[in-house]
């Protein structure tokens, strides 16, 4: 996180210093979320927690604001019940479409929105459209709606996104943009394959065969370690099984 | 501010440590606003500014959150154009009525809402209802709407408020609550009268005859220095003229 | 922590809103420390951590500054190696004696001082005087030195303290003041005794027989739950054994 | 400030996001100082103050920490009486020489040190050596001492610096490094010369003939607008008079 916050290579801004957040699952059914408005590279509590908390499923996000205020309620990951959500990208022209999109959020869910970002609105649209039952279909419907509303407002390319969401057991990762030039998304190769390829690498011996990393940018320089998620597709990572599928927005009826 | 933030005598909480804000008018037509999430008693920048910035009209607010997050976008005074607004009190059951009240805000104004408090929603309702043209009527209409919506949701006493608002020339101060038990509001006596009464008080000789303070709680112990604004009324302070009038909410048609 | 930070009953100030800190021991040999300059009652991360991190030994401190800046490096508990230290009280006239006390700190330890408080200086004096080998003797020597230096500067009552320190296995709690009017310090009664006395109290059934709380002020209203540590004494809490001894400062030779 | 904090071209780090500070002189004899631990690009209060406060002499600094904590007491400019001081660079091996350098600070001044940076220690050494009477000589003596102490500790190049200091009337700017490869320092050309050269540039018509900017890096692209301060030299800017002199550290006797 610290390296990427200072020297992002594939992002829009090289500096991601507008706060950060970490969510993780422990003994409780609801995940913990730790958020800060400081740059990740300065936050001493982040280093403390990283050194002392263990979890089998961690979400981590560094923020480069596209205009909304730097405050904890705008930091990812966002949480609802036992779900986490984080988004890299933006809803184009959000200021103009915000009100209409918020009106499409289920009124009972609406009350739980705490911040002012496009990313949280996107999360609550996906929740409204059934995220908890069928995540891929819900995200496809949410994106379809955002594109529909955006285009009504004359916005050519309404959605730019990689999204990761989880219920604590499976992780869904989405890569899509209306323009077809989406931000990057990578997932790690199988640890057993890498271990056979690099028998002397000590890090690989600390990871279990089930370890998976899903990242915006490759970490480190290990050749063969990272696979890119293709344009307009999504992947599912869960115990014993990884899948990759095409992603197609579903416009409102 | 520091004294009241630590030892409020008339507020609901004795401690008002959930951030603060100061707004003032200088050479520019739009007022400056300085906000912080720290308790006022700890903020070194507040002491620096207090010692180095002069203004003929200052709004200052210390916050005791009634539940919404402690972040700069939730600190008073709120600003729109050259108007400032601050509120002591709450909209009862705000979580339940928030969506309906926000829907009543003019869509073009809606986009400028930055935080998540009842007080900012109240400000934008007043703006929607003509604050810039006729402040007392606009606030009466906004309160009428909030009471109407609240009672539809079964809330007995929807509004508790003292409000101060200004366009940089006049100040309007309101005291009202649906229950008829409003938070306190005081204004200072005429400086020339006090000076005659206390000829040896050095502070009074530093104040001009036109100086006025409007406060939630009396400052200091000077007898005769403070007049209470009566229940269900509002005052106007402007150069050469002070007025006091009854305040009557106007329900929606 | 939240209750005491807002409504301290036995402290010098009723409000303790100048930051806080929590230290705990987990799997690693060195404890984790989480610190914040926000009032405890506002810190969302504190609530998250409290709900998701478990530990057999936790130190928690809320701060009411006696003048030094509100910054994370001034929040307790202070850590050195696997030791934690927190202090309630002050070194009188610290501004005048600070330089002389810091000169008495072992030069190799001196470099690890990060903040500017009297409490951290006190910790490093105790470390210099052998805290890691014999905590009671080291604290007695540190207090003896502070009293000696203070009195040379004409300070009548140089030390006011309750101190808690731990190596992760034992906890030492000290209560002392030069004046003989020390801040309060309490320890919880044996859980098995309380459980016999209050067979219907559900909290008591969640605590193990080995559970001990050492606190500045009693928590809750359970009669018989709290024993006061006497003036000029210290206690040791460790597995299977509690002790109480007199505390006598040792002046420098 | 915002541009340089995100995209420094000549600094060691491209990102300077570890807090910032602004000092300015107004009606009072002592300057005001506004400091924040946020990155300058995120700080709303900075924008507010920039738009509403006017001053004839402003110091502004963005920080990239070389290891010491990000806290307001470590932000530049540092203030003592009516003096301001800011430093770009570092004292090499500060952790090892800190104690010895602090011992060289006048004990009565020592008590006013608030933070933990090399830059503030450097300021207090210069004050100890007569900054208020003869700034160039005092800085030469302070640098001479730091180099002497550093080399005793085996540090090859102890000092890297550009320094600016002011008493509210004159500004002294120093450029020096033990290695002879100092960080950059520029001062603006005479406004009347630039105005003759660029008669159509509107900004130049808003500046008085006496306006001077001293900066770490050129602002904007105006050719001829910036002169580099040479290696091992210092400049003085005051009403009606600019000077440039060689800078030669003075080792302790």
C66, pLDDT greater than 90: no
In angstroms, what separates the C-alpha of A70 from chain D's closest C-alpha? 7
> Where residue D12 falls among pLDDT bands split at 50, 70, 90?
low
> Which of D32, D52, D54 has the CB atom closest to B48's CB atom?
D32
Q: Residue D24's closest chain B neighbor by CA?
A: B52
CB contact (8 A) between residue A73 and residue B71: yes
Nearest to A124 by CA among A158, A91, A168, A169: A91
> Which of D27, D34, D54 has the CB atom closest to B48's CB atom?
D34
CB contact (8 A) between residue D70 and residue A6: no
* Rounded Cα gap, residues C103 and C118, in angstroms: 14
> Where residue D173 falls among pLDDT bands split at 50, 70, 90?
very high
- Residues of chain B found within 8 Å of residue D36, distances taken between Cβ atoms: 45
> Where residue B136 falls among pLDDT bands split at 50, 70, 90?
very high
- Average pLDDT on C90-98 reads 95
Helix (H) or strand (E) holding A226: strand A226-228
Nearest to B61 by CA among B81, B48, B79: B79
- Residues of chain C found within 8 Å of residue A32, distances taken between Cβ atoms: 48-49, 51-53
Q: Which residue has the higher pLDDT, B67 or C148?
A: C148
Would you call the peptide bond into C63 cis, given omega within 30 degrees of 0 as the criterion? no
Q: Residue B36's closest chain A neighbor by CA?
A: A71
pLDDT at residue B219, rounded to an integer = 80
* Rounded Cα gap, residues C119 and C107, in angstroms: 18
* Rounded Cα gap, residues B138 and D141, in angstroms: 67
A196, pLDDT greater than 90: no
In angstroms, what separates the C-alpha of C131 from chain D's closest C-alpha? 22
> Which of A14, A42, A70 has the CB atom closest to D42's CB atom?
A70
- Average pLDDT on B137-144 reads 98
Q: Going edge to edge, which strands form the sheet with C32-36? A: C32-36, C20-24, C58-62
In angstroms, what separates the C-alpha of A74 from chain C's closest C-alpha? 13
Helix (H) or strand (E) holding C143: helix C135-152
B8, pLDDT greater than 80: no
pLDDT at residue C11, rounded to an integer = 65
- Residues of chain A found within 8 Å of residue B38, distances taken between Cβ atoms: none
Q: Residue B44's closest chain C neighbor by CA?
A: C69
pLDDT at residue B10, rounded to an integer = 67
pLDDT at residue A189, rounded to an integer = 84
Lowest-confidence region among A107-111, D4-8, D137-141: D4-8
- The average confidence (pLDDT) of chain C is 91
pLDDT at residue C10, rounded to an integer = 67
Helices (H), C178-230: 191-197, 202-206
Give the count of Cβ contacts less than 8 A between chain A and D: 35
> Where residue C198 falls among pLDDT bands split at 50, 70, 90?
confident
* D220-227: long-range contacts, CB 8 A cutoff, minimum separation 24: D222/D194, D222/D198, D224/D189, D224/D194, D224/D197, D225/D188, D225/D189, D225/D194, D226/D186, D226/D187, D226/D188, D226/D189, D227/D186, D227/D187, D227/D188, D227/D189
- Average pLDDT on C64-69 reads 82
* Rounded Cα gap, residues A55 and A57, in angstroms: 6
In angstroms, what separates the C-alpha of B93 from chain D's closest C-alpha? 31
CB contact (8 A) between residue D45 and residue B35: yes
- Residues of chain D found within 8 Å of residue B24, distances taken between Cβ atoms: 52
* Rounded Cα gap, residues A6 and A40, in angstroms: 9
Which chains contact C through at least 3 pairs of Cβ atoms less than 8 Å apart? A, B, D
Helices (H), chain B: 2-7, 44-52, 94-103, 107-110, 118-128, 135-152, 191-197, 202-206
Residues D165, D169, D170, D171, CA torsion sign? positive
Q: Residue A27's closest chain C neighbor by CA?
A: C52
Which chains contact D through at least 3 pairs of Cβ atoms less than 8 Å apart? A, B, C
Is A177 within 8 Å of A161 (Cβ atoms)?
yes
DSSP state of C130: T
pLDDT at residue D233, rounded to an integer = 97
Residue A228 vs residues A183, A217, B226: alpha-carbon distances, Å: 11, 9, 70
- Candidates A29, A45, A57, A75, partner chain C, best to mutate (most C CBs within 10 A): A45
pLDDT tens figures, D47-65: 999 889 889 999 999 988 8
D9, pLDDT greater than 70: no
pLDDT at residue A184, rounded to an integer = 92
Q: What percent of chain B has pLDDT over 70?
A: 97
C65, pLDDT greater than 90: no
> Where residue D89 falls among pLDDT bands split at 50, 70, 90?
very high
- What are the residues whose beta carbons fall under 8 Å from the beta carbon of B214, sequence distance 6 or more? B164, B171, B173, B185, B186, B187, B188, B235, B237
Nearest to A39 by CA among A67, A1, A69: A1
In angstroms, what separates the C-alpha of C28 from chain D's closest C-alpha? 24
Is D77 within 8 Å of D86 (Cβ atoms)?
yes
CB contact (8 A) between residue B70 and residue C42: yes
* Rounded Cα gap, residues B132 and B222, in angstroms: 36
* Rounded Cα gap, residues C189 and B221, in angstroms: 47
Other C-beta atoms lying within 10 Å of the C-beta of residue D121: 24
Q: What percent of chain D has pLDDT over 90?
A: 64
> Which of C69, C72, C107 has the CB atom closest to D114's CB atom?
C69
- pTM higher than 0.80 for the full model? yes
Q: Which residue has the higher pLDDT, A10 or D23?
A: D23
CB contact (8 A) between residue C17 and residue B15: yes
Give the count of Cβ contacts less than 8 A between chain C and D: 33
CB contact (8 A) between residue D99 and residue C111: yes
Q: Which residues does D contribute to its contact with A (CB < 8 Å)?
A: 6, 13-15, 17-18, 37-39, 41-42, 44, 65, 69-70
pLDDT at residue C208, rounded to an integer = 85
CB contact (8 A) between residue C114 and residue D116: yes
D105, pLDDT greater than 70: yes
- Residues of chain B found within 8 Å of residue D48, distances taken between Cβ atoms: 32-34
In angstroms, what separates the C-alpha of D44 from chain B's closest C-alpha? 8
> Which of D69, D98, D110 has the CB atom closest to C72's CB atom?
D69
pLDDT at residue A13, rounded to an integer = 67
* B152-156: long-range contacts, CB 8 A cutoff, minimum separation 24: B153/B93, B153/B96, B153/B97, B155/B92, B155/B93, B155/B96, B155/B97, B156/B92
In angstroms, what separates the C-alpha of B109 from chain A's closest C-alpha? 11
Q: Residue B25's closest chain D neighbor by CA?
A: D52
pLDDT at residue D11, rounded to an integer = 65
CB contact (8 A) between residue A73 and residue B69: yes
Which chains contact A through at least 3 pairs of Cβ atoms less than 8 Å apart? B, C, D
Determine phi and psi for A205, rounding to 5 degrees: -85, -15
pLDDT at residue A92, rounded to an integer = 96
> Where residue A9 falls among pLDDT bands split at 50, 70, 90?
low
CB contact (8 A) between residue D15 and residue A6: yes
Residues B106, B107, B113, B118, CA torsion sign? positive
B4, pLDDT greater than 80: no
- Residues of chain D found within 8 Å of residue B51, distances taken between Cβ atoms: 28, 32
> Where residue A42 falls among pLDDT bands split at 50, 70, 90?
confident
Q: Residue C93's closest chain D neighbor by CA?
A: D111
- Candidates D15, D37, D62, partner chain A, best to mutate (most A CBs within 10 A): D15
b/e A110-128 (16+ beta carbons within 10 angstroms → b):
beebbbbbbbbbbbbbbbb
> Where residue D68 falls among pLDDT bands split at 50, 70, 90?
confident
Q: Which residues does B contribute to its contact with D (CB < 8 Å)?
A: 24, 26-28, 32-36, 44-45, 48-49, 51-54, 72
pLDDT at residue C211, rounded to an integer = 86
Q: Residue B53's closest chain D neighbor by CA?
A: D53
pLDDT at residue B112, rounded to an integer = 94
Helix (H) or strand (E) holding B172: strand B171-177
D2, pLDDT greater than 80: no
> Where residue D198 falls among pLDDT bands split at 50, 70, 90?
confident
Is B190 within 8 Å of B183 (Cβ atoms)?
no
Helix (H) or strand (E) holding A127: helix A118-128
Is B135 within 8 Å of B165 (Cβ atoms)?
yes
A36, pLDDT greater than 80: yes
CB contact (8 A) between residue D38 and residue A65: no
Going by their DSSP bridges, the two strands B233-238 and B171-177 should be labelled as: antiparallel
pLDDT tens figures, C202-227: 878 888 888 888 998 888 777 888 88
A163, pLDDT greater than 70: yes
pLDDT at residue A232, rounded to an integer = 97
B114, pLDDT greater than 80: yes
pLDDT at residue D217, rounded to an integer = 86
* Rounded Cα gap, residues D170 and D162, in angstroms: 17
pLDDT at residue D251, rounded to an integer = 96
> Which of C35, C36, C53 has the CB atom closest to A53's CB atom?
C53
- Average pLDDT on B62-67 reads 84
- Average pLDDT on D12-25 reads 85
- Residues of chain B found within 8 Å of residue C39, distances taken between Cβ atoms: 17-18, 39
CB contact (8 A) between residue A14 and residue D14: yes
Going by their DSSP bridges, the two strands D214-215 and B226-228 should be labelled as: unpaired
- The average confidence (pLDDT) of chain D is 91
Tell the burial category of A109 from Cβ atoms under 10 Å away from its Cβ (0-12, 13-18, 19+).
Answer: middle
* Rounded Cα gap, residues B50 and B27, in angstroms: 17
- The average confidence (pLDDT) of chain A is 91
């Amino acid at each position: 996180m610290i390296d990427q916050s200072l020297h992002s290579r594939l992002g829009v801004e090289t500096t991601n210093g507008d706060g950060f957040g970490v969510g993780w699952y422990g003994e409780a059914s609801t995940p913990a979320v730790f958020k800060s408005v400081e740059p990740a590279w300065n936050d001493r509590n982040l280093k403390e927690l990283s050194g002392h908390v263990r979890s089998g499923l961690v979400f981590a996000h560094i923020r480069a604001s596209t205009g909304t205020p730097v405050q904890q309620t705008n930091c990812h990951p966002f949480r609802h019940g036992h779900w986490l959500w984080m988004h890299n990208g933006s809803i184009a022209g959000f200021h103009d479409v915000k009100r209409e999109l918020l009106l499409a959020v289920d009124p009972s869910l609406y009350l739980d929105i705490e911040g002012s970002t496009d990313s949280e609105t996107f999360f609550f649209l996906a929740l409204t459209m059934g995220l908890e039952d069928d995540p891929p279909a819900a995200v496809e419907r949410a994106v379809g709606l955002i594109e529909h509303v955006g285009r009504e407002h004359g916005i050519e390319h309404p959605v730019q996104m990689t999204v990761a969401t989880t219920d604590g057991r499976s992780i869904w990762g989405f890569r899509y943009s209306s323009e077809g030039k989406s931000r990057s998304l990578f997932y790690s190769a199988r640890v057993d394959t890498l271990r056979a390829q690099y028998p002397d690498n000590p890090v690989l011996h600390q990871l279990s065969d089930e370890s998976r990393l899903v990242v915006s940018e490759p970490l480190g320089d290990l050749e063969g370690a990272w696979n890119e998620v293709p344009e307009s597709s999504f992947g599912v990572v869960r115990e014993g099984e990884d899948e990759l599928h095409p992603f197609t927005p579903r416009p409102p009826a």
